[in-house]
Copies of this chain bind each other. A is one copy, B any other.
């Protein structure tokens, strides 16, 4: 977007004038009439500060397609003054960068101002445009074609005789304000409608200007970058540093315990992706059928959870709703898909869930039975999660209520993580319970929707981190204790538990990937993604229940 060319108007800035409350803005700042807080140490002597927007890039990695790189910052307006009116930041009418004032008759950035000055001072004749003399002029490409830039300057009205000296006449200021208001109102009006983007390119409200505006052109694009693309500088600071280095004794234990808990309660993991050619319906009830291995370790778990958790799978439909969907039903074949309940390819709503037996619905079955079957299919996995939770050091010390709450809220997220191995990123396919593998496209055509896509994306990114077993285990534990906390009785203890697990995870990663501590950060950033998946899932499930 970059709206760039918008006419001159633009950007909202804040200006608070009243300073009533001292507190926050500590910065010094101040000049009243201008904006609010200013940057902290501004030392600059005589300038007003305010930094304009600059944009800078920094982009980490790039993707080749469009050059990734980065974009660049916006230059102008640096700190000096940016012109604004009541909080509005004006943009350069030529290139869309932040304007530094009213130059040669139009609001323009320092760059365009200088460019225009030079152009008229020395009677420069720029060399001909290499294209059609209609290059778009935006901040990032304004230096690519002088002829077109100059043309644009003239087009928007820059002229030596359009200069205005001295302070802005009050009257004019008022008029401007008014215009802006109108523009804004318009904006809002249309905004009622919906189409997001369309509006986007349309014009600038602002009056007159924007002559040239073509649609704006070209494309937005590009990405930024500047500096740091790399995955992380060798040393660098970072999170890990805080720990002093050495790993805490307790941490080792936590790591070990969590890891074995994970391994012993997770049977659907990678190695089993050997498609079992057949494996017809497997579950009868659930347990018995689904997996032999449950026994030993899994089965026996009942302890504290048993009481609590036992209920999870069983009781209120709630548990299901919060947890359910994802799940491969049988031990070797995970499944995965997801579709919007609304799809109804098959003439009937159907949850194309990755953990389902199959993405298709048997038209014969009644809605109720489908739902039931579906619910049961993931029960085993849910139980595994519960078992896993119980073995997380400290988890059982939480109140039963909180244990249940966390499980209700977090099981789905844990399952998503656990089933990472079930998604074949390379082939972009997912294996279902039936043992069949379906390509994402196929699933989409069957009605799978956003959730599936999102899960795929998530899985892909997670797999890309190439975590080891221990890391996966710890991460899984973190995911669980980081589940939604609303309704918890004792948030603090959960937080404490979370902290210890996080610490262990960090140490582990620091140890295993000394040069890529960013992995830790990336993992933490997966948490919000999981939360989103959880929500999408809940919504679909709800819809599914309503319209089976």
- How many angstroms from the CA of A232 to the CA of B304 in the assembled complex? 35
Select A73's contact among B78, B246, B257, B470, beta carbons within 8 Å: B257
With an 8 A cutoff between CB atoms, is A199 at the interface?
Answer: yes
Residue A499 at the B interface, CB < 8 A?
Answer: yes
Q: How far is the CA of A22 from the CA of B269 in the complex (A)?
A: 11
Say whether A260 contacts B39, CB under 8 Å.
yes
Task: Give chain B nearest CB distance to A197 CB in angstroms.
Answer: 5
Residues of the B chain whose Cβ atoms lie less than 8 Å from the Cβ of A166: 75, 111
Contacts of A299 in B (CB 8 A): 86, 181, 184
Q: How far is the CA of A2 from the CA of B235 in the complex (A)?
A: 13
Q: Evaluate whether A157 and B253 lie within 8 angstroms (CB atoms) in the complex, with A269-B24, A506-B239 already known.
A: no
A267 to B84, CA, bound (A): 14
6 closest A-B pairs by beta carbon, nearest first, are A6-B307, A191-B314, A10-B304, A11-B304, A10-B303, A184-B302
Is A348's CB within 8 Å of the partner chain B?
no
Question: Do residues A313 and B191 form an inter-chain contact, with CB atoms below 8 A?
Answer: yes
Is there contact, CB below 8 Å, between A181 and B69?
Answer: no
Q: Please indicate which of the listed interface residues A86, A228, A493 has the most CB atoms of chain B within 10 Å of its own CB.
A: A228
Docked-complex contact A486 and B532, CB < 8 angstroms: yes
CB < 8 Å: which of B1, B88, B247, B308 contacts A396?
Answer: B1
Kindly list chain B residues whose C-beta atoms are within 8 Å of the C-beta of A497: 58-59, 223-224
CA distance A56 to B7 in the complex (A): 16
> What is the distance, in angstroms, from A262's C-beta to the closest C-beta of chain B?
9
A227 to B348, CA, bound (A): 54
Contact status A87-B225, CB under 8 Å = no
Complex formed: what's the CA distance from A6 to B220 in Å?
30
Instruction: Kindly state whether residue A163 has any CB partner on chain B within 8 Å.
Output: yes
Query: In angstroms, how far is the closest chain B Cβ from the Cβ of A418?
Result: 11
* Chain B residue at minimal CB-CB distance from A379: B188
Contact segment of A351-359, A360-368, A399-407, A435-443? A399-407
A413 (CB) vs chain B CBs: closest residue = B528
How far is B393's CA from A52's CA once the two chains are assembled, in angstroms?
11
Whether B228 contacts A87 by the Cβ 8 Å rule is no
Contact yes or no, B205 A302, CB < 8 A: yes
Interface pair B308/A2, CB less than 8 Å apart: yes
User: Contact at B482–A229, with CB atoms within 8 Å?
Assistant: no
Given A18-B332, A482-B528, A506-B237, decide whether A229 and B157 contact each other with a Cβ distance below 8 A: yes
Q: Are B314 and A187 in contact (CB under 8 A)?
A: yes
The docked-state distance in angstroms from the alpha carbon of A251 to that of B469 is 34
Report B-chain residues with C-beta under 8 Å of the C-beta of A6: 233-236, 303-304, 306-308
Cα-based distance from A349 to B404 in the complex (angstroms) = 30
What is the number of residues of chain A that contact chain B, defined by CB distance less than 8 Å?
274
- Neighbouring B residues of A265 by C-beta, 8 Å: 11-14
A447 within 8 A of B: no
Q: Which single residue of chain B is at the shortest CB-CB distance from A41?
A: B224
Contact of B89 with A264 in the complex, beta carbons under 8 Å: yes
Q: Say if the beta carbon of A259 comes within 8 Å of chain B.
A: yes
Does A292 make an interface contact (CB < 8 A)? no
- Interchain CA distance A36-B308 in the complex, whole Å: 23
Judge if A298 is at the interface, Cβ distance under 8 Å.
yes
Q: Which residues of B contact A524 (CB under 8 A)?
A: 521, 524-525, 527
CA distance A204 to B304 in the complex (A): 9
Per the 8 Å Cβ criterion, residues 40-76 of A in contact with B are: 40-41, 43-45, 50-64, 66-73, 75
Distance in Å: Cβ of A325 to nearest Cβ of chain B: 16
Give chain B nearest CB distance to A23 CB in angstroms. 6
Give min CB distance, A408 to chain B, whole Å: 8
In chain A, positions 330-377 with a C-beta closer than 8 Å to chain B are 331-332, 376
Is A391 in contact with B160, judged by CB distance below 8 angstroms? no
User: Could you say which residues of chain B place their CB within 8 Å of the CB of A247?
Assistant: 233, 236-237
Q: Which residues of B contact A88 (CB under 8 A)?
A: 300-304
Tell me, yes or no, whether A244 is within 8 Å of chain B by CB: yes
A230's partner among B1, B297, B529 (CB-CB below 8 A) is B1
CA distance in complex: A235, B144 (Å): 28
- Given known pairs A298-B87, A304-B11, the reply for A169 and B78 (CB within 8 Å) is yes
Within 8 A of B (CB), among A239-254: 239-242, 244-251, 253-254
Task: Supply 11 A–B pairs (Cβ within 8 Å), ascending by A.
Answer: A20-B273, A55-B391, A61-B157, A75-B165, A86-B297, A186-B306, A192-B317, A238-B510, A242-B518, A531-B531, A535-B535
